[in-house]
Chains A and B, each alone.
Chain A
């Protein structure tokens, strides 16, 4: 081991011997405690923002499909559906797909009314693109009877409806002129299951129905009898294999060429890319801003280290007089300060993660679902976030220490000994 390292380790061990006395000093506790708190705030903020971003992405992708295929005109006919099914079965990136009907409705409870989207759901499909089965938390997801429905927890809560209750659905399409005026048609369904995906929009405004009931809601009474009419779908939803999810935009470019641009194809990226880009930018901008908080807290380290050097001015003078060079003395103080800083940083990271975790468990401060898409804080501790936080904090601590260490070079032996 190089001689200089041995000398530094010797003085560090001696510092540890005196460590308990030094650590109990209020100045040390305040200086490094303040630094730890700033690191905790930075960690908690980045972790919460990262958790929000990941949860939102997982939620959106978990609840929704990855690719949406529409007709260029109005609806997709059965022939077009058949053609698309033949095409999609041959795409290796596709995990599952299903045609979907949708319509706007009014959902009514005993006293409340809310606008919603009714969607068809093939509940017997083993792995549909929009997989609400995973999020059923009351009742069942099986629409075994014609007039069964599954609704989101937000809608159920708003309409004060539970599993087993009746839900009335009114469709603007299902209207008839009568002597009493325009009369809307109402269909009553049984709520079989309630799901909670965590995505506010989906939980508050979606009603899953069997295809036959949805067809009834979509046609006016003057139309051909529903059972014999040709069935039209609004879109085909596609779910991709996990490793291809982030290539969705490239895949739709390919599929457009392969399908001769006969359909309009969108991906989840088209609908959400601005949102996720904004979230990433927001996360790192806030991280940079809060790093300044850590920088300001590092002034305490400058103060504490400078005070420590001045208190040991005589010892430094004696060591210099007996042949200890500036490099070794600086390395000793640097090592001591960086060890204390590392302890403060790791404590801060731990405290920040704990703070973020506690925020996810409390119910006093909640997010507004209609603004933030989800209502609950979530965290998913990420090693990258923690690594960046620790690295940035260490760099700041190192910078603060190096500023203080200039004092050692400027300290002359005679000045140190005489004073």
Chain B
């Protein structure tokens, strides 16, 4: 059974009377432990796809299934489901500026469990695994770009999600830090067997994933 399944997803945007069809009946599935790269031209709807798969946004029509269960976007506990099941890594780190690195990582766990001490312990363990143990008490503005993204990766993993969605996670990084982050994510995939869907412009990165899709004309086409 596929971990994640998208069936006939459609999404349009309206702008000053003009209707832009971004996704036009997209079908897609992800198996457990699979790593997927999604590439495409700028503005083709890659981020929109990721937001819909991550239940951050609603499709105009179509269905999303997680582990065989259809997702109801109006469901009251959708936030809790997202907290437990899905991890996000955005292009910009989107860390909370008023919290330290360890607090940023701990917060999703704390939202799930309500136990702050345990959440901080788990967070610090994860930061050690991403080689950030000496930066636990630093604030985001005290970290480099690569370090911030490492913290964001650790935050995405803190609840042991089944799937991590990464929207151009290396888009703002230099080549050295990009490689570090991609290596980290691939190693973690091998360690914890969570699925990755990564949106990227980088052909080299997409080549390192199990599967490569191109988003064209609102639909995904498998490459290779």
Interface residues of A (CB under 8 A from B): 1-3, 6-7, 10, 14, 17-18, 314-315, 317-326, 328, 412-414, 417
B interface residues, how many (CB within 8 angstroms): 28
User: Does B83 lie within 8 Å of A323, measured CB to CB?
Assistant: yes
Q: Does B88 contact A (CB under 8 A)?
A: yes
Chain A positions within 8 Å of B95 at CB level:
318
User: Does B110 lie within 8 Å of A7, measured CB to CB?
Assistant: yes
User: Does B80 lie within 8 Å of A413, measured CB to CB?
Assistant: no
User: Does A319 lie within 8 Å of B107, measured CB to CB?
Assistant: yes
Interface residues of B in 81-120 (CB under 8 A from A): 82-84, 88, 90, 94-99, 107-108, 110-114, 116
Residue among A319, A321, A413 with most chain B CB within 10 A: A321
Q: How far is the CB of B151 from chain A (nearest CB, A)?
A: 13
Chain A positions within 8 Å of B97 at CB level:
315
Chain B positions within 8 Å of A315 at CB level:
96-98
Q: How far is the CB of A110 from chain B (nearest CB, A)?
A: 80
Q: Does B56 contact A (CB under 8 A)?
A: yes
Question: A315-B96, A413-B57, A414-B56 are known contacts. Are A323 and B108 too (CB-CB below 8 A)?
Answer: yes
User: Does A322 lie within 8 Å of B83, measured CB to CB?
Assistant: yes
Please provide the 3 A-B residue pairs with the shortest distance between their CB atoms, ordered closest to farther.
Answer: A323-B83, A3-B114, A325-B79
The CA-CA distance from A14 to B111 in the complex, in Å, is 15
User: Does B57 lie within 8 Å of A412, measured CB to CB?
Assistant: yes
Q: Does B5 contact A (CB under 8 A)?
A: no
The CA-CA distance from A345 to B62 in the complex, in Å, is 51
Name 26 A/B residue pairs within 8 A (Cβ), A-sorted: A1-B114, A2-B114, A3-B113, A3-B114, A6-B114, A6-B116, A7-B114, A17-B98, A18-B98, A318-B95, A318-B96, A319-B107, A319-B111, A321-B88, A322-B88, A322-B111, A322-B155, A323-B84, A323-B108, A325-B77, A325-B79, A328-B111, A413-B56, A413-B57, A414-B51, A417-B90
Q: How far is the CB of A324 from chain B (nearest CB, A)?
A: 5
User: Does A324 lie within 8 Å of B57, measured CB to CB?
Assistant: no
Q: How far is the CB of A16 from chain B (nearest CB, A)?
A: 12
List 8 additional A-B contacts (Cβ < 8 Å) besides A322-B111, A325-B77. A6-B116, A14-B98, A314-B94, A318-B94, A319-B111, A321-B82, A322-B82, A417-B94
Q: How far is the CB of A320 from chain B (nearest CB, A)?
A: 7
Q: How far is the CB of A53 from chain B (nearest CB, A)?
A: 51
User: Does A321 lie within 8 Å of B110, measured CB to CB?
Assistant: no
The CA-CA distance from A161 to B56 in the complex, in Å, is 89
Chain B positions within 8 Å of A414 at CB level:
51, 56-57
Question: A14-B99, A413-B56, A414-B56 are known contacts. Are A323 and B112 too (CB-CB below 8 A)?
Answer: yes
Question: A3-B113, A412-B57, A414-B51 are known contacts. Are A322 and B98 too (CB-CB below 8 A)?
Answer: no
User: Does A323 lie within 8 Å of B57, measured CB to CB?
Assistant: no
Residue among B51, B110, B111 with most chain A CB within 10 A: B111
Chain B positions within 8 Å of A17 at CB level:
98
Q: How far is the CB of A415 from chain B (nearest CB, A)?
A: 9
Q: How far is the CB of B102 from chain A (nearest CB, A)?
A: 14
